[in-house]
Amino acid sequence: MPRNCIQVVFVKWGTKKYSAAYVNALVQTILDQTAAEVRFVCLTEHSEGIDPRVTVRPFPDLGLPLETLTSRGGSLPKMGIFADGVLQKGLPTLYIDLDSSVFGDIQRVADCLTRKRDFYILQRHAIPYWRCSKLVRRLLPERYYLGNTAIMAFYPEDWGFMYDRVRREYPAIHTAHATHGTAMPKDYRGGNEYLISRFAGHDLRVFPMDTAVKFTQEYMAPLDWMTRIRNHLPWVKARRKRQAIVTYHGAELKPEKIIWFEPGDKIRFKHHVTDWQYPEITAYWRRFLVKSA
């Protein structure tokens, strides 16, 4: 592989939630906007219709049937990306959730690993522990920053222990919980975000806001007037032009709903709200989903 090659991995289980069109949309928009060579990998048990430029791999064995792992919200199969042999070592690697939009060059996302070879995820908690990790490590050694794993950047050879640990621990934890009602540990109850955040610990970093973001964080706010003001701030406009990836969290922001959004529609998710003024996002998903329906 060339030195400027980026590895991108997706995870897709079943056919009801995400079709091959989601994988293919990411492949095409990534290639349209980067000069880097890209190696694509997808973990799935349904490869029908996936772009032939994607290397398809089965889910690694986590000690339980995939149906069991996905029955609790579909969180743990994502840990399979860290299994030995799934990804090529030595390549900067990006994981991207299928309900994400690529609006810029993913090289900017991979470049985070050039600046500091740690584990990158999206911001979730507002308190930026990662900025003072040495102090937190000294004062609260068991404390870790809880991030969002919809987008991640890492080197596979650095994090293979994550899969090994879940494969070793989770089958017994699940059996004890299902058979005897034993309480499930918080990290396993919380799913891959808790596990990855804890395993990465003080090596965890958060993507800059001008690189990769959650839609709810960047485009929504507790009050709609706050969103309107933010949309007109010049530094926010400039930041959004530089963002390479936007991901969508929550039932109200699923792409199959976004394709029907019109300017002025009031969109709510939990305590977030926005007046829809993002036709480029609607157009992005209509391009890939309407023609595949």
The answer as to CATH 3.30.390 being correct for domain 6-206 is no
Task: Give residue 145's pLDDT.
Answer: 80
The residues pairing with 39 across neighbouring beta strands, listed in sequence order, are 7
CA-closest candidate to residue 101, choices 183, 1, 22:
22
Neighbouring CB atoms inside 10 A of 280's CB total 9
Q: Where are the chain's structural domains?
A: 6-206, 212-290
Task: Give residue 73's pLDDT.
Answer: 59
Across 83-101, b (16+ Cβ under 10 Å) vs e yields beebbeeebbbbbbbbbbb
* 3-state SS assignment for residue 278: coil
Task: Give residue 209's pLDDT.
Answer: 94
38-44 and 54-57 strand pairing: parallel
List helix spans (H) across the chain: 20-32, 66-70, 107-115, 133-139, 160-180, 186-190, 192-200, 215-219, 224-232, 234-242, 255-258, 279-285
Task: Give residue 215's pLDDT.
Answer: 95
Task: Give residue 293's pLDDT.
Answer: 47
CA-closest candidate to residue 95, choices 9, 169, 24, 221:
9
Task: Tell me the pLDDT of the chain (293 aa) as tens digits.
Answer: 455 899 999 999 877 789 999 999 999 999 999 999 999 999 999 999 999 999 999 999 999 888 888 775 558 899 999 999 999 999 999 999 999 999 999 999 999 999 999 999 999 765 565 566 666 656 666 667 889 999 999 999 999 999 999 999 999 998 998 898 898 888 888 889 999 999 998 899 999 999 999 999 999 999 989 999 999 999 999 999 999 999 998 888 999 999 999 999 999 998 899 999 999 999 999 999 986 54
Task: Give residue 284's pLDDT.
Answer: 96
Task: Give residue 244's pLDDT.
Answer: 97
Cβ neighbours of residue 262 under 8 Å, at least 6 residues apart? 276, 282
Using alpha carbons only, how large is the chain's radius of gyration in Å?
A: 19
Task: Give residue 69's pLDDT.
Answer: 82
204-206 and 212-214 strand pairing: unpaired
Q: How far apart are CA 262 and CA 60, in angstroms?
A: 41
Q: What would the DSSP string read from start to end of 131-176?
A: GGHHHHHHH-TT-----EEEEEEE-GGGSHHHHHHHHHHHHHHHHH
CA-closest candidate to residue 86, choices 150, 40, 37, 23:
40
